[in-house]
A and B are shown apart, each in its own frame.
Chain A
């Protein structure tokens, strides 16, 4: 079966750095997405990786290792507004997104 694993919840301090991991087992691979979802709102796109390596976008970076079935989202200089759930999703061989359950990130002052 297809599976996306990510931690259920993480806590970090304002101004710090946090890394959210995602491991996946899917039938085929056509890219990995990270989305942010604030409570009660819709998911919004953060990043996309299809080749191995690090993609940086401001305070957020995303890393992919296809051989290991592994990705992480790195958030730097954490702000209170970063408190949200972070969803990892893989596009499979049918170009459909398979979603992890999400990681709830709690930022403390």
Chain B
């Protein structure tokens, strides 16, 4: 593994189903993030984690949950998917703290909820 990986690459999901998007990084970064990207809108932060064992809510957390059991993994779960959650989801990581910590992004998961 080099950098950040996400799985699956894409998924079509029936409304009401549960879905977990996986994210793994091998850079030993403390902080990890989940964003969604929709056409015409900027990246919007869903949840974040500044270090293993802690998580926080971003701008659009409703309908999503996360966990951070270890440094490398940061899964995002949709408990009961709805069509408005159709989006491209990006996981990112960075060294925590300070101003200059660029975020490194995974390749994204394209999710369609029907």
Residue B53 CB within 8 A of the other chain: no
Cβ A99 vs Cβ B44 within 8 A: yes
Cα distance A30–B98 in the bound complex, in angstroms: 8
- Spot the interface stretch: A11-19, A42-50, A58-66, A75-83: A42-50
A45-B103 contact in complex given A99-B42, A99-B44, A101-B42, C-beta closer than 8 Å? yes
Residue B45 CB within 8 A of the other chain: yes
Residues of A within 8 A of B41 (CB): 101
Residues of B within 8 A of A99 (CB): 42-44
**Nearest 8 A/B pairs, CB to CB:** A99-B42, A42-B105, A30-B99, A99-B43, A45-B102, A31-B99, A101-B42, A100-B42
Task: Please list 9 pairs of residues, one from A and one from B, whose beta carbons are closer than 8 Å in the complex, sorted by A's number.
Answer: A30-B99, A31-B99, A41-B108, A42-B105, A45-B102, A89-B42, A91-B99, A96-B45, A100-B42
B interface residues, Cβ below 8 angstroms from A: 40-45, 48, 58, 90, 97-100, 102-108
A interface residues, Cβ below 8 angstroms from B: 4, 8, 30-31, 33, 41-45, 48, 50, 87, 89, 91, 95-102
